[in-house]
């Protein structure tokens, strides 16, 4: 039994590599997913009315000075 399995494994290893789904479409799927991700989050960030507080300019006001 073990010898039969070994022969099968060797035969499959030496078999000519035929392109599978990933070989054919892997990069296409990856790029499509990346494009969808960017599109959705780009829409969310630009349309959701999120105010980004990245710059403190104009937000920090000096306290009134106490004598």
Looking at residue 51, what is its pLDDT?
66
Measured distance CA(45)–CA(37) in Å, rounded: 12
**CB contact set of 8 (below 8 Å; sequence gap of 6+):** none
Mean pLDDT across the chain: 78
At 32, is the pLDDT very low, low, confident or very high (cuts 50, 70, 90)? very high
Say if residue 3's pLDDT is above 90.
no
Say if residue 57's pLDDT is above 80.
no
Domains of the chain: 1-46 (4.10.51)
pLDDT, mean of residues 2-17: 65
Looking at residue 42, what is its pLDDT?
92
């Amino acid at each position: 039994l073990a010898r039969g399995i070994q022969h099968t494994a060797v035969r499959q290893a030496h078999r000519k590599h035929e392109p599978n789904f990933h070989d054919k479409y892997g990069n296409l799927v990856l790029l499509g997913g990346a494009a969808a991700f960017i599109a959705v989050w780009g829409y969310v960030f630009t349309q959701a009315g999120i105010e980004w507080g990245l710059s403190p300019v104009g937000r920090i006001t000096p306290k009134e000075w106490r004598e």
